[in-house]
């Protein structure tokens, strides 16, 4: 089962290196990793998704906690988190196919970022599962490029980590 771990770290050079180094050294598999600054510019939030085979999440949490620059670690329960990923997808589009593509974008809530006589660049922010669906719906039109951010997440309700 996939688990989402939210990590608050000091926003300093080399910190991400320590975190990814820890995952490779301890043979933990990262499914997705996203980093960005928080409301406090001295702190970054890293959202990591790992496959919880062999109950590895407990060790991941403990090992992350040992890093001096890690301030807080929290595993977010699937039912209580809001997780979103951003995808930018470039697809072949002609006069013949453009309307069909637009119809799917409407259904999925995707936005058109750019358009050219032969292509469209689309943007969707959603759960990874819905992004996968969107991507599969675009595949018949011939996808040119895909970029995904990895999931970022916070927990529902008024609490914070």
Q: Rule CB under 8 A: say whether 17 interacts with another protein.
A: yes
Task: Show the tokens assigned to 3.
Answer: 């688990």
The nearest distance, CB 126 to another protein, in angstroms, is 33
Task: By CB under 8 A, name the one of 9, 35, 76, 105 that touches another protein.
Answer: 9
- H/E run at residue 82: strand 81-92
Q: What is the total count of residues that contact another protein (CB under 8 A)?
A: 18
Let me know: does 85 contact 125? Beta carbons within 8 Å.
yes
Cα–Cα distance measured from residue 109 to residue 112, given in angstroms and rounded to the nearest whole number: 10
Question: How many C-alpha atoms does 123 have within 13 Å on its Cβ side?
Answer: 7
The nearest distance, CB 3 to another protein, in angstroms, is 16
Piece in contact with another protein (CB under 8 A), picked from 15-23, 117-125, 129-137, 144-152: 15-23
Three-state DSSP class for residue 102: helix
Let me know: does 82 contact 156? Beta carbons within 8 Å.
yes
Q: Convert residues 32-71 into a mask of x (bound to another protein by CB under 8 A) and - (unbound).
A: --------------------------xx--xx-xxxxxxx
Let me know: does 108 contact 123? Beta carbons within 8 Å.
no
Between residue 65 and residue 104, which ones bind another protein under the rule CB under 8 A? 65-71
The nearest distance, CB 29 to another protein, in angstroms, is 17
Q: Which residues bind another protein (CB under 8 A)?
A: 9-10, 14, 17-18, 21, 25, 58-59, 62-63, 65-71
């Amino acid at each position: 089962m996939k688990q989402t771990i939210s990590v608050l770290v000091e926003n300093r050079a080399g910190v991400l290196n320590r975190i990814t180094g820890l995952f490779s050294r301890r043979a933990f598999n990262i499914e997705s990793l996203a980093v960005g600054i928080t409301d406090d510019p001295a702190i970054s939030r890293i959202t990591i998704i790992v496959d919880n085979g062999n109950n590895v999440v407990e060790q991941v949490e403990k090992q992350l906690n040992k890093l001096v620059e890690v301030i807080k670690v929290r595993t977010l329960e699937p039912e209580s988190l809001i997780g979103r990923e951003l995808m930018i997808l470039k697809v072949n589009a002609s006069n013949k196919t453009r309307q069909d593509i637009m119809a799917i974008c409407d259904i999925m809530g995707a936005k058109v970022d750019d358009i050219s006589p032969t292509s469209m660049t689309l943007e969707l922010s959603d759960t990874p599962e819905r992004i996968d669906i969107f991507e599969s719906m675009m595949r018949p039109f011939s996808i040119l490029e895909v970029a995904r951010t990895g999931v970022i997440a916070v927990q529902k309700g008024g609490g914070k980590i």
